[in-house]
Amino acid sequence: MKYHVNEKRAIGKRSPMLYGHFIEHFHRQIYDGIYDPGNKLSDEEGFRKDIIEAMKKIKVPVLRWPGGCFVSSYHWKDGVGENRQPFFDKAWRVEDPNTFGTDEYIHMCRKIGCEPYICTNAGTGTAEEMSDWVEYCNLKNEGKYAKWRIANGEEQPYNVKYWSIGNENYGNWEIGAKSSEEWWRLVKEAAKMIKHVSPIVQLSAAALPDIDWTMSLLKHCGAYLDWISLHGYWDMLPEKNELADYNQCMAYTEQVDRAVLDVKGLLTALHLEGKIKIAFDEWNLRSWHHPNVHTIEQGIDSKTYLVPRDKNDDNSSYTMADAVFTACFLNAMNRHCDIVGMANFAPILNTRGCIYSYKDGLVLRSTYHVFDLYVNRLGDIVLDGWEEGEKNTITVFDKNGNQITTDTLDILATQHSRTGKISISVVNKEAEKKQKVKICLNENQKGRYRIQKYQIAGKSVDSYNDIDKKDVFIEGFPEEETDGVYEAVLLPHSINVFDFERIR
């Protein structure tokens, strides 16, 4: 098969926020995670320096917080200032010490060098409470909340640009779930108040690839919104931690585009595609394991609903299946860069995160290396490309036994706007077979290119990283030279990036 790249035809410019992340007050993401006062690896403010450095390496552009389901019963005013009290988190049924709040979050974002993205309480909260939070963060000194921030030691406003009204308020698992009509009415009033406080704010609200829910939201609130929020987990594991195997995960790669295309169609139908973008602001291959919490019958003792969450920390669970799916998802979001402006891997740390922390150090899971490769090697201009010749496909079965046929190769062509260099990602989904593809840049013209290849490929589909075990990593290869046609050989279950730099 040949893959042709058209350097003169750009699909669009990809926002760096497609490589965004998410963190929530769940299990070990915040406490005993990135915020760990007293740990020898933490700084004077209690932040783990090694985790911050790992986040900086993948240039986290935006970090969504504080949830997630947690936020739908979180009252931000209890988490600022000196008079803080521990509270019972009704979403996850644990006591939150309440020592990490808005000010700590902003300080963390500054250390990472990323944009803050605050998700507000649209469950038990009110439109006024949401707008008060914006006052605290964004007003210079007007009103009691800006003055409260100043009294707490922050004279200058935080100028938080990105805010989300609510989380998954369409779902019965969410505290304060809403009907479609209840939802758009709350969103409209909250948006009015927030934008009265801070016109610089860009607002998102929870949506679905569902006509009734999202059409009502857009019809009534489209004028106030800059984004609509989509979430996606494919291997659902909340009650039973029975992970999909490699081929079942490859079946899920066929579903990634669907939600984007459905919502893009609704935006286009209402002539909002030029105003509102999609924030895929919570996504991962596998959902979090937290049995007996989002159910009518609740777990009674810690063994039934708390202890099982430790299964999320099993590093052997994060294999080449996770890496390959993550690369396919990021390829798809790049190709949809005209309508998708943000995506947030959920979460960045522990649980199903790409980073795992323990008392004495870190494990960089397979998915971390995909972000490292994409953020630091791919270009920001998405180029048009097309395939010539017969495609190779594989037939796999999903967890429900449905037969799915998917292309074995997932290819993304990009260009670096500053240098003109072309970088192409090629994902081989085949579990055991090598693949070949001819990449054609200038098939009929004279020219020479310097090529640098980077590859992520474990020895098996089940390769993973753990403490003192590093089976998945980025491997660089010696430079080569070629003319306008280059034959790439791809290992099974691999993610590859080819840099093409024209030398004459």
Strand partners, 119: 164
Whether 332 and 375 have beta carbons less than 8 Å apart is answered as no
Secondary structure class of 279 (helix, strand, coil):
strand
- Say whether both 433 and 305 belong to one domain: no
Looking at the structure, tell me whether residues 480 and 498 fall in a common domain.
yes
Is the Cβ–Cβ distance between 318 and 464 less than 8 Å?
A: yes
Q: Estimate the share of the chain in helix, then strand, then coil, as percent rounded to the nearest 5.
A: 30, 30, 40
Question: Are both 311 and 372 inside the same structural domain?
Answer: yes
- Type of residue numbered 492: P
pLDDT of residue 444: 65
DSSP 3-state of 422: strand
Q: 104-131: buried (b, 16+ CB within 10 Å) or exposed (e) per residue?
A: bbbebbebbebbbbbbbbbbebebebbb
What is the distance between the alpha carbons of residues 119 and 73, in angstroms, rounded to a whole number? 12
**Distance, CA of 257 to CA of 335 (rounded, Å):** 10
* pLDDT value, residue 164: 98
Q: Do residues 280 and 417 both lie within one domain?
A: no
Q: Residue 443: which domain range?
A: 2-9+380-502
- Of the candidates 377, 397, 413, which is a domain's last residue? 377
Instruction: Name the burial class of residue 232, with classes exposed (0-12), middle (13-18) and buried (19+) by CB atoms within 10 angstroms of its CB.
Output: buried
How high is the pLDDT of residue 443?
A: 66
Q: 403 and 452: one domain?
A: yes
The token duo for 156 is 């200058």
Which residue ranges of the chain lie beneath pLDDT 70? 443-445
Q: In angstroms, rounded to a whole number, what is the distance separating the alpha carbons of residues 269 and 249?
A: 33
Query: What pLDDT is recorded for position 8?
Result: 87
Q: What tens digit of pLDDT does each residue of 149-166 get? A: 999 999 999 999 999 999
The answer to whether 468 and 390 are in contact (CB under 8 A) is no
pLDDT of residue 144: 97
Mark whether 355 and 387 lie in a shared domain: no
Nearest alpha carbon to residue 65 among 198, 187, 160: 160
Rounded distance between C-alpha atoms, residue 444 and residue 438, angstroms: 14
- Helix (H) or strand (E) run with residue 321 in it: helix 320-335
Q: Give the single-character DSSP code of 195.
A: H
Smallest CA-to-CA distance from 103 within 58, 56, 60, 153 is with: 153
DSSP 192: H
466 and 336 both lie in a single domain: no
- The β-bridge relationship of strands 449-456 and 409-415 is unpaired
The alpha carbon of residue 458 and the mean position of all alpha carbons in its chain are separated, in whole angstroms, by 23
Q: Give the sign of the dihedral formed by CA 497, CA 367, CA 345, CA 433.
A: positive
d(CA 106, CA 118): 10
Other C-beta atoms closer than 10 Å to the C-beta of 434 total 11
The angle formed by the CA atoms of residues 448, 451 and 454, to the nearest 5 degrees, is: 170
User: CA torsion sign, 475 to 479 to 484 to 487?
Assistant: negative
35 vs 46: CA distance, rounded Å: 6
Q: Confirm if 124 and 67 have CB atoms less than 8 A apart.
A: no
Question: Domain with 399 in it: what CATH number?
Answer: 2.60.40.1180
Q: Which of 333, 360, 377 is where one domain is finished? A: 377
Domain end position, chosen among 329, 345, 377: 377
Are residue 297 and residue 339 in the same domain, yes or no? yes
Pairing label, strands 469-470, 465-466:
antiparallel
Instruction: Give the side-chain half-sphere CA count within 13 A for 8.
Output: 1
For residues 131 and 192, membership in a common domain is answered with yes
From the list 243, 247, 237, 183, the residue with the least C-alpha distance to 215 is 183
| 373 lies in the same domain as 386 | no
In the three-class reduction of DSSP (H, G, I as helix; E, B as strand; rest coil), residue 163 is classed as strand
Regarding whether 435 and 316 lie in a shared domain, the answer is: no
* CATH number of residue 212's parent domain: 3.20.20.80
Please confirm whether the linkage preceding 347 is cis (ω < 30° from 0).
yes
Q: Supply the pLDDT for residue 504.
A: 76
Same domain, 390 and 352: no
How many domains does the chain fold into? 2
In angstroms, the CA 454 to CA 500 distance is 12
Q: Do the bridges between strand 494-502 and strand 469-470 make them parallel or antiparallel, or are there none, so unpaired?
A: unpaired
- Rounded Cα distance, 329 and 415, in Å: 19
pLDDT tens-digit series, residues 222-250: 999 999 999 999 999 999 999 999 999 99
> What stretches of 14-80 adopt beta strand conformation (E)?
20-22, 62-65
